[in-house]
Amino acid sequence: MNLVFRELTVIGHMSRSTRRWALALALSFALGASAATARAGEEDDLQRQIETQRAGVSDIERLDELHAAGDEITLLKAWLDEAWALRAKHEYDQVREVLDRALAQAELIRQKISVSKLRAQADTREAALRETKRKIDQARKQLADTTVKKKALEGASK
């Protein structure tokens, strides 16, 4: 406590210009330290976003059972690698742009996968419909043949 009082006394004896200079120096040091901390926090945040999107790529690959979006997935991986390289170069604005592009690409891939699954489901149902129509036509023909035979037998028995 005695030391703090002595330092305050020393500051009290400084000239006005020296106090301003000391205050400016202390503020610039504090701002520099907070900017470095903010920059490090921003870098950590971008790194987390990139890693999260990379984890999402493996989920997307698992969803793409029909392999309908292979080229798009490759492009997405390349963009995430580009974002990682830009992050290492401390070009954070460009990293954000690439991450936004990657998010849009991931959404496009999910939609393309959904379309391919729905198309496969529609194709399966159309094939089942064609088979059912074929069976119905075959049954109608057999019914018509049976009706003709029945009439022929009835005519022969009279």
> pLDDT tens, 15-65?
666 766 666 666 666 555 444 444 568 889 999 999 999 999 999 999 999
Over residues 144-155, the pLDDT tens digits come to 999 999 998 888
Task: Name the domain count of the chain.
Answer: 1
DSSP-derived secondary structure for 12-51: HTS-HHHHHHHHHHHHHHHHHHHHHHHHHHHHHHHHHHHH
Its domain, for residue 146, covers: 2-157
pTM above threshold 0.85? no
